[in-house]
Amino acid sequence: MLRAARWLTPIFPASKALPMFTPLTPGELAELVRSTALAGEALALHSGNSLSALGHPPRGDRLHHSLSLAGFDAIIAYEPDELVLTVGPGIPLTEVKALLAERRQRLAFEPPDWGPLYGQPAGIGTLGGVIGAALAGSRRVTAGGARDHMLGFHAVNGRGEIFKAGGRVVKNVTGYDLPKLVTGAFGTLAALTEVTVKVVPAPETVDTLMLPRLTPARATEVMAQALGSPHDVGSAAYLPASIARDLIPGAGDSATLIRLEGFAPSVEARAAALMAEFGGTVERLGADVSRKLWQALGDATPLVGLHEDCLWRISVPPTAGAAILEAVQAVRPLATGWLDWGGGLIWLALPPHPGERDGGAAFLRGLVTDGHATLMRAPERVRASVPVFQPMPPALAALAQRLKASFDPHAVFNPSRLGA
């Protein structure tokens, strides 16, 4: 059993048997990692703890201590002119957004708040969680994801060493791009203590064009046309009628949505040009509806209340999304889902299916030839029995093991979170 060091006051949350460690300095964190490694035990990393149900649950064969990075929550440097922000990973995302908004900036990749999706309160997610799980919203299709805006970090590796990579400037190719590598690694490589991200100006205004009553296949063509146009479309999504009705006032049928952001005269001109190119019925939803709508899509709000369903997020080439969505709904009429990223992202909620114990893993992965399907939310027994993340070919899995070991040779950090 790991003994808590003098400087760590173990907190015993009511629901957990083991103490939660909350180091406040990289030195304390490094000491904790070293002693955990010596004891042959493991650390379950988190900062806001909103995403603890995403990924594989800890396996029972190793003692897992809860390690919170919430103590690393300082704003270290914010230089709006340089487009960089350096903070501790424990800083709440809401705080980051508010800080940037004061200078009319934002994170381009539109990180969502998935707390409510996991039955947690809204607003507890942290920037560390956003980076660890590579969260991105609808703008991912044009602005890139968390990895595209991650510039540098300081961290402690699984050997208990304090190290850094990347830098605090927006353009840097010095050494391996480890900042990208730790993004989306679900805390399996290193425990971050400081991150530098690129920030961008926030747009003056936003509007959304809505084309009603298209089939998913036709919607995909329209989205490809829009995203391939010179009209600077920022994101494009397709909602079936049931979801459109919930999110868009007055909507009665399926909705194909094209978002435009930027300077007001530019948004106006681009909206007019696109409407002329589309022809037919096109509605403009306006700035207020747009902001709420795209936030809801990023946060996957339509799926929050579907407690019985297993939730999936599938990433495919944009033109492949519609056929998968239709194939699912053809045999599972109660499934809920929509397309984002111009068709390249499918959100799905699958209700329990007679005789199916894998949450739909075999069914869905059978439909995905190029891309990957992630089991976003499912009961723990399901997540313990099927791969939450798309299985890798053996040679790649072996490389992933070697890479993990190069950071964390004793498998101290989240050893089973990504699977075997």
Partner 1 sequence: MVQMPMPNEGILARRADIVRALYDLLPEACVIADAVARRAYECDAVSAYRQLPLAVVLPRNTAEVAAVLKYCHGAGVPVVPRGAGTSLSGGALPVADGIVLGLGKLNKILDIDFPNRAVVTQPGVTNLGISNAVAHAGFYYAPDPSSQIACTIGGNVGENSGGVHCLKYGLTTNNILGLELVLMDGTILRLGGKQLDAGGYDWLGLLTGSEGLLGVITEVTVRILRKPATARALLLGFPSSQVAGDCVGQIIAAGIIPGGMEMMDRPAIHATEAFVNVGYPLDVEALLIVELDGPPVEVDHLIARVSAIADQCSAMTKRISTSEAERLAFWAGRKAAFPAAGRISPDYLCMDGTIPRRALSHVLTRMGELSQHYGLGLANVFHAGDGNLHPLILFDANKPGEFDKAEAFGADILRLCVEVGGVLTGEHGVGVEKRDLMPVMFSEIDLDQQRRVKHAFDPKLLLNPGKVFPLLSRCAEGGKMHVAGGALAHPDLPRF
Q: Which of residues 61-80 bind partner 1 (CB under 8 A)?
A: 79-80
Shortest Cβ 348–partner 1 spacing (Å): 16
Decide if residue 173 touches partner 1 (CB under 8 A).
yes
Shortest Cβ 152–partner 1 spacing (Å): 9
Query: Helix axis angle, 216-227 relative to 264-278, nearest 10°?
Result: 130
Q: Which of residues 3-42 bind partner 1 (CB under 8 A)?
A: none
Decide if residue 177 touches partner 1 (CB under 8 A).
yes
Nearer to partner 1 by Cβ, of 21 and 407: the residue is 407
| DSSP output for 371-413 | SEEEEEE--HHHHHHS-SSPPPPHHHHHHHHHHHHHH-TT--B
Region of 15-23, 44-52, 57-65, 197-205 interacting with partner 1 (CB under 8 A): 197-205
Contacts of 100 (CB under 8 A, 6+ apart): 85, 106, 107, 199, 202
Q: Which of residues 330-389 bind partner 1 (CB under 8 A)?
A: 341, 344-345, 370-372, 374, 389
Q: Of residues 167, 212, 351, 352, which one binds partner 1 by CB under 8 A?
A: 167
Q: Which of residues 95-134 bind partner 1 (CB under 8 A)?
A: 103-104, 134
Decide if residue 229 touches partner 1 (CB under 8 A).
yes
Q: Of residues 34, 97, 159, 213, which one binds partner 1 by CB under 8 A?
A: 159
* Neighbour-count burial of 341, counting CB atoms closer than 10 A to its CB (0-12 exposed, 13-18 middle, 19+ buried): buried
* Neighbour-count burial of 396, counting CB atoms closer than 10 A to its CB (0-12 exposed, 13-18 middle, 19+ buried): exposed
User: Smallest Cα–Cα separation from 69: which of 53, 86, 92?
Assistant: 92
Classify 179 as helix, strand or coil. helix
Shortest Cβ 13–partner 1 spacing (Å): 31
Shortest Cβ 37–partner 1 spacing (Å): 10
Q: Of residues 99, 217, 224, 275, which one binds partner 1 by CB under 8 A?
A: 224
Exposure string of 121-138, with b = 16+ CB inside 10 Å and e = fewer, is eeebbbbbbbbbbbbbbb
Shortest Cβ 333–partner 1 spacing (Å): 26
Nearer to partner 1 by Cβ, of 142 and 245: the residue is 142
Decide if residue 263 touches partner 1 (CB under 8 A).
yes
Classify 327 as helix, strand or coil. helix
Q: Are 259 and 233 in contact (CB under 8 A)?
A: yes
Q: Which of residues 273-302 bind partner 1 (CB under 8 A)?
A: 273
